[in-house]
Homo-oligomer: A and B are copies of this chain.
Amino acid sequence: MVVEVRQRQADRSRGTRRKLMEATVDCLVERGWSGTTTILVAERAGVSRGAQLHHFRTRGELVAAAVEHLGAESVLVLKARAVGVGRSPVAVVGLIADFYASDLFSAALELWVAARTDPELKTIVLPLQTKIGRETHRLAVELLGADETRPGVREAVQITLDLVRGLALANQLADDRKRRAGIVRHWATMLEAALEES
């Protein structure tokens, strides 16, 4: 009985933490870094200020947890979308380009840019950036069936990832989907040749 109550409490506690982390990401997408206040996050999560402070004493603690959550979420979303996408470069590059053009990237970009001039945030965000970058690279290699021991293949995959991040940037202020699809198609052809010829 006592064990069950504790279990329920632990579940509720995890649920509250999760709600607060998700609300932080939503706030970043809708209001940007400067508009993401702890008060707004608590409101959005439907969590009392007291409960919020119980879980995260400072904005820094909340943001650190949200960054972690965002990283894990991004990798999960990307892997889920990758199921059954096939090996053709155009499908794989399209998948990754669309992933980077999503709200999760907009949230990450808010943190990324704010971290440039905020040393405390930077210590949190830099590992996130590295982690998502590494995971995306690994997934791209796997999906493309690319052999990175062959000359030029590793660089071609890196170009793919830097390119999709550039495309994601172009998508922040306007819907760039149509142009992006054209660039993806064209790059996929070049990438295919690079993977074959090496």
A contact set with B: CB distance below 8 Å: 30-35, 106, 109-110, 112-118, 122, 125-126, 129, 152, 155-156, 158-159, 161-170, 172-174, 179, 182-183, 186-187, 190, 194
| Most chain B beta-carbon neighbours within 10 Å: one of A110, A117, A158 | A117
Q: List 16 A-B contacts (CB under 8 A).
A: A32-B113, A32-B114, A106-B116, A112-B169, A113-B113, A115-B172, A129-B173, A152-B186, A156-B186, A158-B179, A158-B183, A159-B183, A159-B186, A161-B166, A162-B167, A166-B167
- A158–B185 Cα distance when bound, in Å, is 12
Complex Cα gap A26–B21 (Å): 33
Top 4 closest pairs, chain A to chain B, by CB: A166-B166, A162-B166, A165-B166, A32-B117
B109 and A113 contacting across the interface, CB-CB below 8 Å? yes
Closest to A172 in B: B116
Q: Identify 5 new A-B residue pairs, CB closer than 8 A, beyond the known A165-B166, A166-B168, A166-B169.
A: A32-B116, A109-B113, A152-B186, A155-B183, A159-B183
Task: Give the docked Cα–Cα distance between A66 and B172 (Å).
Answer: 21
Contacts of A163 in B (CB 8 A): 159, 162-163, 166
Bound Cα distance from A45 to B35, whole angstroms: 27
Interface contact A155-B173, CB-CB below 8 Å:
no
- Are B117 and A173 within 8 A (Cβ)? no
A176 to chain B, nearest CB (A): 10
Q: Is the CB of B166 within 8 A of A117?
A: no
Q: Does B109 contact A173, Cβ atoms closer than 8 Å?
A: no
